[in-house]
Structure 1
Amino acid sequence: MTAPALNVQSIDLAAVQSRVDRTLHDFLETKARNAKDHCLPLDVPAVLRDFLAAGGKRLRPLLCVLGWHAASGHGDDTAVVRTAAALEMFHAFCLIHDDIMDNSATRRGRPTVHRVIADRHDHDHLGTSAAILIGDMALAWSDELLNSAGHPPHRIAALRRVIDVMRQEVIYGQYLDLMTPLTPIPDDEAALQVIRFKTAKYTVERPLHCGATLADADPDLRTALSRYALPLGEAFQLRDDILGVYGRPGDTGKPVLDDLREGKHTVLLALAAQHADTAQRKLLDTLLGTEGLDHDGAAAIREVLDDTGARAAVEAMITTRYARALTALDAVPCPPPAAAALRHLAARAVERTS
């Protein structure tokens, strides 16, 4: 599964990402100036600016812009790029709060927002409380970016309907994820339900729908894009689950122990539990979700994942879903440059190491 090279007629994804990043940077610089003028805390825009500048795949903004291209969008795309930036600002809200819920210390190789504030003031509760507020501000500012994009009334109304659904889906997905430790480990359907709402719809399907809506796409095109988006989104999250256990912290930007210490019930762990013998199941039950889990314990869990065939099974699921997404893409009636870029992004999503 090698990402195809983009030819000269293709959409310049790096340029799109650069424009999204510049939009976010300029917006937050304006917010910082306004805060200074009104004697408001500069920490809020500064911490958020640093968080966004730390990296990230920008997959949702890229897919938003590609959705517009897929629906034969043409002319000035400034408003589309600003909408894409609004999706990334909303994603910042999700990640900041997600890191609090997961008690994660690092994100993208740097301290998480709640740890930045806690370490600065040597006060854990203050760090958590401040990060909740900064995440809330990211949510508010995502709306401001969206409302100031300059879309005509009919288009912003249609876009709002998609975004409202997207926000509900990801929050339901996060809630389901929060509750999965209460379900039996072998329940892979519960884990797949989390993937569908928290990742497949939120990360791939709805961003594509947002962009397509901005080009006044008909329902048939959105349905065709969904057939590509949903299996790709599942493959993306399944890859993330593997990286959360087997990845290198230097690549992933977070400790390899986090998911195991949290006891997150992923498809990977569900399949291992289904095929584990008595000793292997006892090891999983004993070590998963243990706050003090060390690298030796994690190595023992990985051995079970390998020996039960769980890792190989998830790799096969990724391959199957990736193929399904590409087959669906062949049936999407979109311009060749958009199809080429969507194919390229699909390969990047499943082959990544971070």
Structure 2
Amino acid sequence: MTHPFLDRAELRTRVRQALDDFLRQRRSRLAEIELEALAPVADAIEALVVQGGKRLRPAFAYWGYRGAGGADDDAVVAAVAALELVQASALIHDDVMDGSETRRGEPAVHRRFATLHTRAGWRGDPDGFGTAAAILLGDLCLVWSDEMLHSSGLGADTLARARPVFDEMRTEVTIGQYLDVQTQATGDTSTARASLVARFKSAKYTIERPLLLGAAIAGAPEELNKAYEGYGLPLGEAFQLRDDVLGVFGDPVVTGKPAGDDLREGKRTYLVAAAMEDGGADDAWKLLGDPELDAAGVARLRGVIVGSGALDRTERRIADLTAEALGALDGAHLTAEAREVLTGLAQAATQRTV
């Protein structure tokens, strides 16, 4: 029989319930201000935060806490659920910066509000309204992440330990997003630059910082923090590399994003950088970043990436980083059940299809 705390589905359910409870309270506050105008804001955030997501960040934070000997606690679940609001903020802003049309198979937030503007027959530019609304909703999610952490029920001393990790994580992901935009603007195609962007845009706030947040809540010793860093950073980079592969080769029915979207957006990912290093003279690269790139163009660029050996190179790096991460847990003083779950989460993070 599966141990109840090894059931990831149960934890996802509890995280979803915590988010649902928190956002219901925030909806009431918005209704007090202006029900008709702000109901779409509550609807959009709930659709993104409550209905979707793999809940990996709360899972890593929760098991970082449990691995340090922390006992199960609903307040801890509510605290780590706040990470989903940080994620929502990043996704909303990312989709604006990338010009993405969809997110998880539904219209991206900026497209959702552009459509609202058009259907209501309001004045001005629908796309401009959608972009402005999405920026503000992303900011609101970041503000609410702070509120959710502080209203979770954790004690003042525990919050004081957790707060620096939470703040550093939010700084890092914001800087990582800027580095991503700046890298595309400069056209830097080095794998070193791609790895730097991946580390700060995704790796640290997806796995390393959530683990350290859980450890801080539990009051973990420095030795365990070091083990979590050794596990979390390479695994987070492997997670982002898998995301890069899916952005080019993923099935849109599964990923919820159009096929080859990263190629249309011209993203200088590790996968693309590796292909340019090994097959950079191909004329097909002039198609990278073309927003009108069709299926034939996507297929051509995919062929160059595969032919250069970059896909195999990226898969090997994912495997190497995952092995490095798991090796960091060897000898670490953490609970047996946490070790088992963290091993399983490593596989889930790097072998996923979405």
State, as a whole percentage, how many aligned pairs show the same letter: 46
| In structure 2, C-alpha distance between the alignment counterparts of 1:53 and 1:168, rounded to whole Å | 24
Q: Which residue does the alignment assign to 1:290?
A: 290
Indicate conservation of the 8 Å contact 1:67/1:210, yes or no: yes
- Name the amino acid aligned to 1:11: L
Counterpart secondary structure, 1:256: coil
| In structure 2, C-alpha distance between the alignment counterparts of 1:178 and 1:251, rounded to whole Å | 26
Query: Unmatched 5+ residue regions in structure 1?
Result: 1-5
Counterpart secondary structure, 2:48: helix
Counterpart secondary structure, 1:353: coil
Q: Which residue does the alignment assign to 1:34?
A: 29
Measured against aligned partners, the alpha-carbon deviations of 1:178-230 in whole angstroms (never above 9, x if no partner) come to 11123455411000001111111110000000111111011111111111111
- Name the amino acid aligned to 2:105: G
| In structure 2, C-alpha distance between the alignment counterparts of 1:329 and 1:204, rounded to whole Å | 14
Matches within 5 A, 1:175-190: 175-190=178-193
Bigger mean CA offset, 341-350 vs 39-48: 39-48
Q: Which residue does the alignment assign to 1:96?
A: 92
Indicate conservation of the 8 Å contact 2:11/2:59, yes or no: yes
| In structure 2, C-alpha distance between the alignment counterparts of 1:262 and 1:115, rounded to whole Å | 16
| In structure 1, C-alpha distance between the alignment counterparts of 2:112 and 2:4, rounded to whole Å | 43
Matches within 5 A, 1:15-164: 15-40=10-35, 41-74=38-71, 76-122=72-118, 123-164=126-167
Counterpart secondary structure, 2:6: coil
1:209 aligns with 2:212: yes
Q: Which residue does the alignment assign to 1:266?
A: 269
Which residue, 172, 175, 195 being the options, matches 1:192?
195
Measured against aligned partners, the alpha-carbon deviations of 1:148-192 in whole angstroms (never above 9, x if no partner) come to 122222221121111111111111111111111234554110000
| In structure 2, C-alpha distance between the alignment counterparts of 1:95 and 1:264, rounded to whole Å | 15
Return the offset for 1:277: 6.0
Return the offset for 1:10: 5.2
Q: Which residue does the alignment assign to 2:121?
A: none
- Name the amino acid aligned to 1:17: R
| In structure 2, C-alpha distance between the alignment counterparts of 1:39 and 1:277, rounded to whole Å | 54
Q: Which residue does the alignment assign to 1:3?
A: none
Return the offset for 1:43: 1.7
Indicate conservation of the 8 Å contact 2:169/2:209, yes or no: yes
Counterpart secondary structure, 1:241: helix
| In structure 2, C-alpha distance between the alignment counterparts of 1:257 and 1:117, rounded to whole Å | 25
Change (3 A) 1:302 1:185: farther
Indicate conservation of the 8 Å contact 1:185/1:269, yes or no: no
- Name the amino acid aligned to 2:57: R
Indicate conservation of the 8 Å contact 1:10/1:340, yes or no: no
- Name the amino acid aligned to 1:320: D
Counterpart secondary structure, 1:332: coil
Indicate conservation of the 8 Å contact 1:10/1:338, yes or no: no
| In structure 2, C-alpha distance between the alignment counterparts of 1:131 and 1:199, rounded to whole Å | 20
TM-score (norm 1): 0.94
- Name the amino acid aligned to 2:313: A
Counterpart secondary structure, 1:42: helix
Q: Which residue does the alignment assign to 2:232?
A: 229
TM-score (norm 2): 0.94
Matches within 5 A, 1:311-322: 311-322=311-322
Indicate conservation of the 8 Å contact 1:228/1:326, yes or no: yes
- Name the amino acid aligned to 1:283: A
- Name the amino acid aligned to 2:299: A
| In structure 1, C-alpha distance between the alignment counterparts of 2:168 and 2:31, rounded to whole Å | 36
Measured against aligned partners, the alpha-carbon deviations of 1:238-271 in whole angstroms (never above 9, x if no partner) come to 1110000000001111112321111110111111
| In structure 2, C-alpha distance between the alignment counterparts of 1:46 and 1:16, rounded to whole Å | 24
